[in-house]
Amino acid sequence: MMVKEYLPSRHLVARLDKGLDLVEQITDLASGARIESATFMVIGALGQAELSYYDQEKKEYHNFGVDGPMELVSCNGNVSIRDSRPFVHAHAVLSDLRGNVVGGHLIKALVFAAELYLIELSGEKLVREFDAETGLYLWRLH
């Protein structure tokens, strides 16, 4: 395990815009506020969404669409730097009108209403780099 210590910095609360993509809005917020490291959570309601599943054997993502409207039961994620710019990594659990849930790595989601709580982390820049063993861009913590 690799560990690096950070301290909480700014806490941002945002109401995301209806009709725009959730991941893009958080990415834009991070860019605009010069946030390079953060953790966040979002709850709300969504229209169409696209989730993904990472096939660990083939080392590739398999995207799948989810038809809205759906509740955004839980969305957790983080912001770090990939290719010199803020990169949002988020996972989401969505539910339908019967409470059935589907979840995965969040690619995009049309916001109906969404409340974001983001905590900026202050410390050394948190950067992602390609990891050949997993095929993923993971945090460089050494």
Q: Which positions touch Zn ion (CB under 5 A)? A: 105
Shortest Cβ 54–Zn ion spacing (Å):
7
Shortest Cβ 86–Zn ion spacing (Å):
16
Question: Residues 65, 67, 43, 12: what is their CA dihedral angle, to the nearest 10 degrees?
Answer: 60
Of 7, 10, 5, 6, residue with least CA distance to 116 = 10
Beta carbon nearer to Zn ion, 31 or 56: 56
Of 34, 43, 17, 13, residue with least CA distance to 125 = 34
Shortest Cβ 89–Zn ion spacing (Å):
6
Q: Which residue is nearest to Zn ion (CB)?
A: 105
Beta carbon nearer to Zn ion, 64 or 69: 64
Beta carbon nearer to Zn ion, 105 or 108: 105
